[in-house]
């Protein structure tokens, strides 16, 4: 950065550097990115036609923004990605707690230093990541936390109580010339919300006990869950009115978007020497389980069903398949229907049952979601009529057991007895001629025949058995 070696106000003046207000700075950097055709929010999926156009408009307009949406809708991520629109570095008065502009300081200390030193005023350069402040709204949050209070240590050093330099600044002043975010704003007590009125309207802060008004240059962002507006708390009307834009977030509108998010966010690492093959139909099943939960009347839809459920389920299925590969010493592996039991802990922890006066068994509910999802995906790729020869072999008394311990060779041998079945699976499911993918396809076929009541399934201790 060409200005970074500048260390005094005089040098900064000679360089031609011009200070910009935070909202102007974001607007100019955003314009550059749009003109260059750059991707602005690189890891936000599914909002290209809905949320992001409104967000970009709000930022270009210099608006303070509140994001309204259920849990797991990337509200916090959206807020944090706006930091990338700040300049890489800005100059501040050296040692200033509130990042004062050397050209126009507002805190008493920096005003005094400027009067004493003039163009020799020392400056330092603040990187963009230090210009972001965030507070999770909690009932115990105080005005002192956000705004500031008298610092007893400074008073004990001999300063008078009336000296403005005895102030210990809160989170908001310390984010001056940056971005301040409040997560779950309705949880902030109403009397604390009132302390934000001046910041959002007049752009200044009042420190209690002092005739001191600090002009603040801050972009204020907030998030809230619609349920919180009426349940746990609410945003007081004057504060809500002071936010220039309210942007509604949402869950993925289709399975394809849910899958892209799962793939992007999954953190499971496979050791070298092992190869994961993940058939797309299995990804669709996992994503559809979440969609089933989102439309179920037995689930509290006001709380929402987070995308985090899909991600956690995706990771759990991979891990279970990998664990089997380790035990069976198979270097290639793919998730199968029999791995879906691994999603149970991830799913039950992320759904809230809607109380209807009757007890609802969570395990049974998740199993229903799995069954409905398998049926939906099966019907989109296959039909029971394609596998009459498979049903016929079961009618002759054949049984087939699957579990976490079933090796690939069992599936290979089974398919070798069924003329044309392997080719149907490869063509219809778009899978390769690999043992692990064919094993996954075989279980999918059998599960589809079961949900269409062509064959039966008996649960046993170590897995389950398909039979007539």
Beta-carbon count within 10 A of 405 CB: 13
Residue 158 is predicted with a pLDDT of 60
Residue 356 is predicted with a pLDDT of 62
Instruction: Return the higher-pLDDT residue of 55 and 151.
Output: 55
Q: Does any domain span residue 2?
A: no
Burial category of 295 from C-beta neighbours within 10 Å (exposed 0-12, middle 13-18, buried 19 and up): exposed
Please state which of the ranges 12-21, 50-59, 223-232 shows the lowest mean pLDDT. 223-232
Residue 354 is predicted with a pLDDT of 79
**Are both 190 and 266 inside the same structural domain?**
no
Asked whether the predicted pLDDT for residue 230 surpasses 50, the reply is: no
Taking the C-alpha atoms of residue 401 and residue 395, their distance in angstroms, rounded to an integer, is 16
**Are both 337 and 354 inside the same structural domain?**
yes
Is residue 79 within 8 Å of residue 67, measured between CB atoms? yes
Average of pLDDT values for 408-433? 96
Which of 248, 272, 296 is where one domain is finished?
248
DSSP run (H or E) holding 332 = strand 332-333
Q: Does any domain span residue 398?
A: yes
Across the strands, what pairs with 218?
A: 178
Residue 41 is predicted with a pLDDT of 92
Which of 194, 213, 248 is where one domain is finished?
248
Taking the C-alpha atoms of residue 414 and residue 343, their distance in angstroms, rounded to an integer, is 27
Average pLDDT, the chain: 90
Taking the C-alpha atoms of residue 312 and residue 267, their distance in angstroms, rounded to an integer, is 9
Please state which of the ranges 111-125, 198-212, 331-345, 415-429 shows the lowest mean pLDDT. 198-212
Residue 162 is predicted with a pLDDT of 54
**Are both 148 and 177 inside the same structural domain?**
yes
Beta-carbon count within 10 A of 237 CB: 8
- Record the tokens describing residue 439, joined without a space: 């094993």
pLDDT tens per residue, range 312-351: 999 999 999 999 999 999 999 999 999 999 999 999 989 9
Percent of the chain with pLDDT over 70: 91
**Are both 460 and 333 inside the same structural domain?**
yes
pLDDT band with cut points at 50, 70 and 90 for residue 225: confident
Please state which of the ranges 32-36, 208-212, 233-237, 461-465 shows the lowest mean pLDDT. 208-212
**Are both 31 and 150 inside the same structural domain?**
yes
Q: Does any domain span residue 200?
A: yes
**Are both 263 and 354 inside the same structural domain?**
yes
Average of pLDDT values for 426-435? 96
Q: Does any domain span residue 70?
A: yes
**Are both 242 and 269 inside the same structural domain?**
no
Residue 303 is predicted with a pLDDT of 82
Is residue 278 within 8 Å of residue 355, measured between CB atoms? no
Asked whether the predicted pLDDT for residue 231 surpasses 50, the reply is: no
Asked whether the predicted pLDDT for residue 227 surpasses 80, the reply is: no
Write 350-357 long-range contacts (CB < 8 A, 24+): 350/305, 350/306, 350/308, 350/309, 350/312, 351/293, 351/299, 351/300, 351/305, 351/309, 352/299, 352/300, 352/303, 353/298, 353/299, 353/300, 354/297, 354/298, 354/299, 354/300, 354/301, 356/298
Which of 193, 217, 248 is where one domain is finished?
248
Residues composing the chain? 468
Tally of structural domains, the chain? 2
Q: Which domain holds residue 331?
A: 255-467
Residue 400 is predicted with a pLDDT of 96
Q: Does any domain span residue 1?
A: no
**Are both 118 and 197 inside the same structural domain?**
yes
**Are both 198 and 153 inside the same structural domain?**
yes
- Record the tokens describing residue 445, joined without a space: 């076929």
Q: Does any domain span residue 4?
A: no
- Record the tokens describing residue 453, joined without a space: 């009541």
Instruction: Return the higher-pLDDT residue of 233 and 371.
Output: 371
Asked whether the predicted pLDDT for residue 256 surpasses 80, the reply is: yes
Average of pLDDT values for 359-384? 93
pLDDT band with cut points at 50, 70 and 90 for residue 108: confident
Q: Does any domain span residue 157?
A: yes
Collect all residues with Cβ–Cβ distance below 8 Å to 1 and sequence separation of at least 6. Answer: 88, 89, 125
Cα–Cα distances (Å) from 336 to 281, 361, 411, in that order, read 10, 25, 12
Is residue 280 within 8 Å of residue 430, measured between CB atoms? yes
Taking the C-alpha atoms of residue 306 and residue 312, their distance in angstroms, rounded to an integer, is 10
Beta-carbon count within 10 A of 40 CB: 17
pLDDT tens per residue, range 73-106: 999 999 999 999 999 999 999 999 999 999 999 8
- Record the tokens describing residue 250, joined without a space: 């949402």
**Are both 106 and 128 inside the same structural domain?**
yes
Residue 144 is predicted with a pLDDT of 82
**Are both 178 and 326 inside the same structural domain?**
no
Is pTM beyond 0.85? Reply is yes
Q: Does any domain span residue 415?
A: yes
pLDDT band with cut points at 50, 70 and 90 for residue 232: very low
DSSP run (H or E) holding 440 = helix 435-451
DSSP 345-363: HHHHTT--BPP-SS---HH
**Are both 181 and 44 inside the same structural domain?**
yes
CATH number of residue 200's parent domain: 3.40.50.300
Asked whether the predicted pLDDT for residue 163 surpasses 90, the reply is: no
């Amino acid at each position: 950065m060409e200005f970074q070696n500048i260390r005094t106000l005089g040098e900064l003046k000679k360089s031609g550097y011009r200070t910009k207000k935070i909202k102007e700075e974001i607007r100019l950097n955003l314009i550059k990115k749009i003109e260059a055709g750059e991707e602005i929010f690189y890891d936000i999926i599914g909002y290209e036609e809905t949320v992001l156009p409104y967000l970009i408009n709000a930022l270009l307009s210099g608006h303070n923004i509140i994001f309204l949406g259920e849990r797991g809708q990337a509200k916090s991520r959206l807020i944090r990605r706006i930091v990338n629109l700040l300049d890489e570095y800005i100059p501040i008065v050296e040692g200033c707690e509130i990042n004062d502009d050397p050209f126009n300081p507002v805190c008493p200390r920096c005003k005094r230093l400027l009067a004493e030193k003039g163009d020799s005023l020392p400056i330092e350069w603040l990187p963009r990541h230090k210009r972001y402040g965030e507070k999770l709204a909690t009932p115990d949050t105080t005005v002192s936390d956000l705004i500031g209070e008298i610092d007893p240590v400074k008073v004990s050093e001999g300063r008078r109580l009336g000296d403005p330099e005895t102030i210990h600044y809160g989170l908001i002043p310390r984010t001056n010339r940056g971005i301040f975010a409040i997560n779950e704003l309705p949880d902030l007590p109403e009397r604390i919300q009132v302390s934000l009125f001046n910041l959002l309207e007049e752009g200044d802060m009042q420190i209690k006990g002092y005739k001191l008004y600090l002009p603040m240059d801050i972009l204020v962002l907030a998030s809230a869950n619609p349920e919180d507006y009426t349940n746990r708390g609410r945003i007081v009307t004057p504060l809500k009115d002071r936010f220039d834009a309210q942007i509604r977030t949402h869950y993925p509108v289709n399975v394809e978007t849910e899958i892209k998010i799962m793939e992007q966010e999954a953190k499971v690492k496979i050791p070298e020497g092992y190869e994961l093959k993940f058939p797309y139909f299995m990804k669709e099943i996992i994503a559809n389980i979440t969609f089933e939960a989102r439309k179920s009347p037995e689930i509290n839809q006001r709380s929402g069903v987070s995308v985090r459920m899909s991600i956690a389920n995706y990771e759990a299925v991979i891990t279970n398949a990998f664990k089997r590969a380790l035990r069976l010493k198979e270097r290639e592996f793919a998730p199968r229907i029999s791995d879906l039991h691994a999603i149970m802990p991830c799913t039950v922890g992320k759904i809230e049952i809607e109380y209807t006066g009757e007890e609802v068994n969570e395990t049974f509910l998740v199993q229903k979601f799995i069954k409905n999802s398998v049926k939906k995906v099966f019907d989109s790729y296959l039909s029971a009529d394609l596998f009459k020869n498979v049903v016929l072999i079961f009618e002759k008394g054949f049984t087939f057991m699957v579990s976490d311990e079933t090796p690939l060779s069992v599936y290979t041998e089974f398919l070798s007895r069924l003329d044309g079945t392997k080719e149907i699976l490869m063509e219809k499911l778009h899978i390769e001629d690999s043992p692990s993918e064919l094993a996954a396809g075989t279980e999918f076929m059998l599960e589809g025949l079961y949900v269409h009541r062509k064959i039966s399934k008996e649960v046993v201790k170590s897995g389950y058995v398909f039979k007539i």
